[in-house]
Amino acid sequence: MKALIKNLSTLTDCLTFYIEDSMARGQSNATVSTKNNLLLMFIRWALIQKITRIQEIDLYVMEDYRKCVSAYRKPKNNEPLSIVTQAQRLIALTTFLDRMFYYDVITDNYFAKFELPRTGRRLPKFVPDEEQIELIINQTLVKGKIGIRDRAILEMYYASGARRSELANMDIRHVDAKKLTATIRKGKGGYDRTVPIVQRTIDALNDYLDNIRPELATSESGDAIFLGMTGKRILSSKLTELVGGYVRRSGVAEEGACHLLRYATGTHMLQNGADIRYVQEQLGHEDISSTQLYALVSIRDLKRVHAKTHPFSNKFSPQ
């Protein structure tokens, strides 16, 4: 490895090494793919600036890239990238440079001075209540046979609180119908976790596995629990399209998809008395500060509780 690292120079060679290193450290395929895509954006920009070697990057180059990211406008609506998206692109670069510094490919940690955008913690714009979740799930009833598969997907999302990629990567063997659990392999951070689900989810899964999956399955299906129309493992992007379609069809919200159900899982568990540590484990949050977002009471709930409990809530103002 020493000889390989000693010869690393071009940005493309460094990226190849970095991606292999990330995979060797057990990072998930989704994480590695995102890193690769974000860094390719930087490399394309660098090539336009006639920068091809990692040793040519310095703090001034990074600041120029920041300005480019900030000035970019989306082709569809001419709007800038969100501050979160901007931060993601810059974090990908600093993390990459930090790893190259670790291996002595570069010998200066100038990137430590680079200030990243402050994004803060974003609350979900909307979290459906339990009745609205039922309304979303029940939209599958008008979809015929494929609706049986889709209901199983929605039930699994809401019961497990899984992320989109986690559900796409789930295999049949990862669900234990007797113990009412689902094992999520290589979630965010590369960790496995086993979470409880409910009997109605198992019932929906059994309906799908017995009656629909055999019709979809091909030699390329493997052990994937959820299959697309081609018989291959369903894609994460298809899950977004599928869930988002049911959300809009229900009239519950105009936007939102897989993460909407995940937000609902965490929020409803907390509202019904779950300890935040258990919700953290259910959702697979490495940092409990992520789970604490779900514990923030919405203004609607606060107003309802205030009306019921404040001593002056039912009294008229003095004349």
Which amino acids are annotated catalytic?
163, 188, 259, 262, 285, 294
- What are the CA-CA distances from residue 43 to residues 39, 40, 93, 221, 300 (Å)? 6, 5, 10, 36, 46
- What are the CA-CA distances from residue 303 to residues 271, 309, 310 (Å)? 15, 10, 10
Phi and psi at residue 238, in whole multiples of 5°? -70, -35
The residues, ordered by sequence, that sit 6+ positions from 144 with a Cβ below 8 Å of its Cβ are none
H-helix or E-strand spanning residue 213: helix 213-216
Question: How many Cβ atoms are within 10 Å of 125's Cβ, its own excluded?
Answer: 10
Residue type, 257: A
Q: How big is the chain by its Cα radius of gyration, in Å?
A: 24
Which tokens go with 114?
């680079």
Alpha-carbon gap, residue 245 to 247, rounded angstroms: 5
DSSP state of 255: S
Alpha-carbon gap, residue 44 to 139, rounded angstroms: 43
Query: Strand, coil or helix: what is 145?
Result: helix
Q: What is the largest CA-CA distance in the chain?
A: 87
Alpha-carbon gap, residue 300 to 175, rounded angstroms: 36
